[in-house]
Chains A and B, each alone.
Chain A
Amino acid sequence: MKTAEKQRIQQQFQEKMDYDELLNCMRCGFCLPSCPTYIESGKDEAHSPRGRIALMKAVVDGDIEPDEEVKRSLDMCLGCRACEPVCPSGVNYGHLLEQARDIIYQNQQPSLPVKALRKAAFKGLFPHHNRMIALTGMLGFYQRSGLQTIARKSGVMKMLPESMQLMETVLPSVPTSKLMKNRPRHLQPAATTKKKVAFFSGCLMDTVFLPTNDATAKLLQYAGCEIVIPETQACCGALHGHSGEKQQAKALAKRNIEAFEDTEVDYIITNAGGCGAFLVDYGHLLKDEEGWQTRAEKFASKIKDISSVLIELEFHKQNLVLENEVITYQDSCHLKNVQKTFMEPRQLLESIEGAAYVEMKDAGRCCGSAGIYNLVESEMSMQILDYKMKQTKAANAKTVVTANPGCLLQMKLGIEKEGLTKQIRAVHIVDLLLEAYENSNKQ
């Protein structure tokens, strides 16, 4: 890092970091045992929440420069926010991390390829639904045309890092472009209307995981919801926010608030823990944008995860049947630590007849997916995943249930890595619930 760059970063730390929040950390260390990178790094304070906050504060105080090591410590953070619920002082670590990353990335000259990749992904891809469809369409062509077979046989894949190689094998068969383009905009409940909800479709969920979005809509209909799906909605901006692209995240937030503002619904439903957590925080994201904070908070107050609304509408009291299978649940960090939704998914799974729910040890610990973390910090991600797979195997479950697309892919990746594709499957909770609901209605 160049001196001028460091000075700029330091100055902006002094201007923009919330110093009261930094002081709020009393360094008690209660966060340490909850931090996956602290544990996996062999208890290195530099990879703990307490250590990272101390580093941020030291940069503001001018005690140290924001050098590569400081950046490394912040980069290594999963952003799982498991440190927040256990923090007695209530430090909002997530906000501190986002602000610090934003300052560093906006002031640093990344290497050209990284810059190009970031620009392509964050500016060129995620915000544009049509481009997501196009790219997913290309992926579909790759999968269906025989190219995939050729790529795998040729050994080209071996040139990629382990997590990318595995990712290529576990990506689901994606829908055709036609299916992705013709989405419903308004759906009626199966019987009487109990709630009117809007559905936040998400960018990945509405392309690569399209069937899961369809399943979500069906569950909502069965549970008694009238559903509107605003066409002008966009990507939630979480990937941008977590990666130091705050301005773009703000632009996306505004688009979403506008898209849902006139829907007059009881709730806005998400089925991706990561998106949901970012959406409920729009008030904070837009706190300095004139005229937006109140609108953002109103939007955020309506966000509800699918599990949560299903419990409220007593969907778990419906007949749900699976055939003799042991299931376990892997928490989505952001669903649990930010949206505080962790009882509801378990309650739903426990209500399935014929299925035995087993809680895996440390189900609340991150799986190592964390947005694009498993691609950029492959080594640590795989180490965290290995621990997760150890617990998954110990739980003896046939089905691992997840509540976020990143977690779902990562668990699939873990299963592939362990060579257990014949014994264990990873599913999104809505797909499993729909399967259980349709099973019982067949009988």
Chain B
Amino acid sequence: MLTKEIKQQLTAIVGPENFADSKASQLVYSFDATPQFQAMPDAIVSPRNKVEVAEVVKCCSQHRIPLVPRGSGTNLSAGTTPQQGGIVLLFKHLDQIVEIDEENLTITTQPGVNTLELIEAVEAKGLFYPPDPSSMKISQIGGNINENSGGLRGLKYGVTRDYVMGLEIVLPNGEIIRTGGKLAKDVAGYDLTRLFVGSEGTLGIITEATLKLIPMPETKKTVLALYEDIDAAARTVSKIIASRIIPTTLEFLDQPTIKVVEEFSNIGLPTHVKAMLLIEQDGSTQTVEKDIEDISEICRENEAIEISVAKTEADAEALRTARRSALSALARLKPTTILEDATVPRSEIAKMVKAINQIARKYDVEICTFGHAGDGNLHPTCLTDARNKPEMERVEQAFEEIFQTAVDLGGTITGEHGVGAMKAPYLHLKLGEAGISAMQGVKQAFDPYNIMNPGKMFAKSSRKRVVVSP
């Protein structure tokens, strides 16, 4: 609960129209896209500029009020649920592209700009910003930076982190700092830019970012390969990379996923096959032609039963759209859909897919798997019903085993969704206690009062839970 005095302070900073604390407004900002996580904030505050952001942070620091920066709330790790109440901070007024610099190939933007609008703005100038999370139509770039979002093009082009060159940050004490800049080389001190990307709002508030752009690839081609054997598809993935070909995207869908996506988007996907690979390559026309030929050959050698190259851009776009909606389409099958993103080195893909199938059988739960197979980032997705408690317990156990298997194969518990409140109990699997301590030291240095998005990243106790909410 905020005292009357604090409310007055906050209202004085942002203006009454940018402060809300009615029950309804608290409720609609109590969740994000993560199932089973919900917590009410005390108020929702929308500062109009960075100075107001700093004033709000100072006020929260003074009164030790939790502060949760939030974009469009599409993350899947309970990264923006206000676990300990406090203020949800919105960026609806910081929604301008500051500059597209065609000489240095950078874009400088405020955090509230929609990701797709940003991509379209740079593409209109023949430039390319590759990170393309599935939620890009909805998400804000500030949210992408805080979560270090990935996407379909990650295999070849990397993730959000690889494009952030500089940041403007309001620190938890209210000071405003700038890191990095329009510089390819910059070794002046610690790389705070990298530290803040993916810090999930636990270290400070990002109020501006300078992002790297690259020239738009000349052309792009899309291939679809179908398999009657899930292992054959996984082997193909490993073989393509081993052959020194790095496709833009290399996506994997298993049969249950294919069926649901087809039902949702009606684009003529065959639903009788066991696995599907969606492969894309971009670059110069010559390279693309050759790579696509080689890729098709590798698919054939690895027992693909059908290989087709999308004839038109419309065909290709329809296929990509289908993959993008995979997660949500799965939601049609059961009331509760839990999506994970255990990730392994790409050479271990076949082993991981097999292990997931075995684990699902062992615990008698339904798991569909799709994902960015090219970069080893799989999305084992569990279809269940939160009201069925015994099943939820088994889901819990299955996921724990999946995480452990991923780590054992040299992988990680989360490839792109983040830790948030959801994965915090599992972070030790990847980092060990010493690793967690080191990170907590960093957190303590920046945020001694623990006001920045508390309850995220670090678990309070060792009690594990992915799906059973408190």
Contact = CB atoms under 8 A, between A and B. Distances in A.
Contacts of B328: 26, 28, 30, 87-89
A274 to B, nearest CB: 26
B24 A29 contact: no
Contacts of B138: 29-30, 32-33
A239 interface: no
Contact of A27 (B33, B327, B329): B33
Interface string A8-45: 00000000000010011011111011000000001101
B149 to A, nearest CB: 14
Interface size class on chain A is 20 to 34
Nearest to B337: A26
User: Interface residue tally of chain B, by bracket?
Assistant: 20 to 34
A27 B24 CA distance: 16
Interface string B125-164: 0000000000101100000000000000000000000000
A90 interface: yes
Contacts of A375: none
Contacts of B325: 30, 88
Interface string B6-35: 000000000000000011110111111101
A24 B135 CA distance: 19
B331 interface: yes
B72 A55 contact: no
A54 B28 contact: yes
Interface string B351-391: 00000000000000000000000000000000000100000
Contacts of B31: 27, 54
B27 A55 contact: yes
Contacts, number: 91
Nearest to B31: A27
B336 to A, nearest CB: 8
B446 interface: no
Interface stretch (A64-72, A224-232, A391-399): A64-72
A132 B469 CA distance: 56
Contacts of B22: 67, 69
B74 interface: yes
A359 to B, nearest CB: 16
A400 B22 CA distance: 41
A64 B27 contact: yes
B24 A64 contact: yes
Given A28-B74, A29-B135, A29-B138, A64 B28 contact: no
Contacts of A72: 24
A63 interface: yes
Contacts of B33: 26-29
Nearest to B72: A29
B74 A45 contact: no
A30 B28 contact: no
A73 interface: yes
A65 B23 contact: yes
Nearest to A48: B28
Contacts of B336: 23
Nearest to B34: A27
B79 interface: no
A67 B24 contact: yes
A51 interface: yes
A88 B331 contact: yes
Given A45-B29, A64-B27, A90 B332 contact: yes
B264 A88 contact: yes
Given A24-B335, A29-B33, A88 B25 contact: no
A167 interface: no
Interface string B186-208: 00000000000000000000000
A220 to B, nearest CB: 30
Interface of A: 20, 23-24, 26-30, 32-33, 42-43, 45-46, 48, 51, 54-55, 58, 63-65, 67, 69-70, 72-73, 87-90
Given A28-B74, A28-B331, A70-B24, 11 more contacts: A23-B335, A24-B332, A43-B72, A46-B28, A55-B24, A55-B28, A67-B23, A88-B264, A88-B327, A88-B331, A90-B264
The 4 closest A-B pairs by CB, nearest first: A88-B328, A69-B24, A51-B28, A45-B28
15 contacts: A24-B331, A26-B328, A27-B73, A29-B72, A29-B138, A33-B138, A43-B90, A45-B29, A55-B24, A73-B24, A73-B28, A87-B328, A88-B327, A88-B329, A88-B331
